[in-house]
Structures are given as C-alpha cells and as structure tokens.
Amino acid sequence: MIDRQIEARGVRSKTVLDALRKVPRELFLPENLREFAYQDSPLPIAADQTISQPFIVALMTEALDLEGGETVLEIGTGSGYAAAILAEIAGQVYTVERIGQLAEKANTTLKALGYQNVHVVHADGSLGWPPGSPYDAIIVAAGGPVVPASLKRQLKMGGRLVMPVGNSPRSQELVRITRVADEKFKSEDLLDVCFVPLVGKEGWASTAHRFSMNHARPRIRLTPKS
C-alpha cells in the first residue's frame, strides 16, 4: 500500500512514510473489516463515521512539515489511526473528538498500542484545545466553512494548520495556513477534497449535515495543485 499507493502518488517525506509503516491500521478497524485495512480507501467505523484513506492521511501529515518532537493538535480523532501516525513523529499529540463513543474507543486502542504521547479529548473540536497550546501544527480531519479563529490563535508563530475549507459541507479545498505574525496568516491551496463536516461552535452549526457513505468519506477529487 505504502510503496504503490502512497509514495508512488507523490508523498515523499521519509519521516511520514516510516510512520505509516509502523502503525497497524487493521487494529483501528472493526474486526469484520480488517482484511481491507491496506486498501487505500476510507472504511466505516462506529457512529456513522469513517477511518480516513491512508493517502490523504499521509498527504495532510506531510503538509505539516514536521521534523520530530513537535506539539500537534488533531481535530477529529475518529478511530485514532491518524493520531498514531502523528505520534510516531511528534513529541506530543492532542486529539479532539466530539463523539464520546469514538473518543473512548480511540483512547483505548492508542493506549493498548503504547502511545503514551497521545492525549484524547472529548470536546468541540472547532474550538481547538487551549490547554495544550500553542501548537507547532494543527490538522483538521473535517471540513468547515472557514478556518476557525480559535484554531488560528492556538498556532505558534511559524506554525502550520492543514484543513479542508469550503462553502458547502459536501466539497472543500484542502488549505495550509502558516502563522507569519500575530494577526497575519499565509494561505496555500493544496487540492480539492470532500470530508465529513466540522460540526461545532466555529464549524457547521448543527448535526443536520448527515450524508450517505458516498459523501462521508474523505477522498481526493482532483490532483494536487502545482
């Protein structure tokens, strides 16, 4: 999967590729789906959510430009798979999940695998997690109408944030935001994607945005922008 479906499609960071090789994706899946763990596709987990496509996890992690030892915030824990990838690189990972059932399950899985540097929080991810801030990097695994101001405030100077942003819960642009001054942020468009909606005070306002599985899967729609 990593050689043919991730590295061959443009992910070049050895740090990220090595992290993917270390994390057993099957252990983050329901037992009846573990045989599909190394297909490069999203798969359903509890609470009508999904575990993200490995390529998009790798791509977003690479976009954070991590060197090792950083403090990272993840919004949207889900199964905990992406948090484990981050934990293989970063010093400390804070991951926020709004669905209690998922937060509890992910925490159990991560602790069983020995990830002592991952801190799972059950809260509104659109507000970030101020107790762990400031962060060297923030990754958001859900699409919002804008980048939440709370998340931008929690970035260190020079910190990077990667998030799907769009006016529709069904379609977003993956963007990278870099904090270059107290109130100044550089923005880069990476590619078109489709993620589950970021629900919360600074995201989509309600849980009314529920889609069929075809619209609930993080997936690439176009090739990366040059």
Burial of 122 (0-12, 13-18, 19+ CB in 10 A): middle
Query: How much is the CA Rg of the chain, to the nearest whole Å?
Result: 16
Report the greatest alpha carbon distance in the chain. 48
Query: Which of the residues are catalytic?
Result: 52
Residue 62 DSSP class:
H
Burial of 19 (0-12, 13-18, 19+ CB in 10 A): buried
Q: What angle do CA 85, 66, 116 make, to 5 degrees?
A: 45
According to DSSP, the residues that pair with 135 across neighbouring strands are: 155
| Bridge partners, 139 (sequence order) | 74, 162
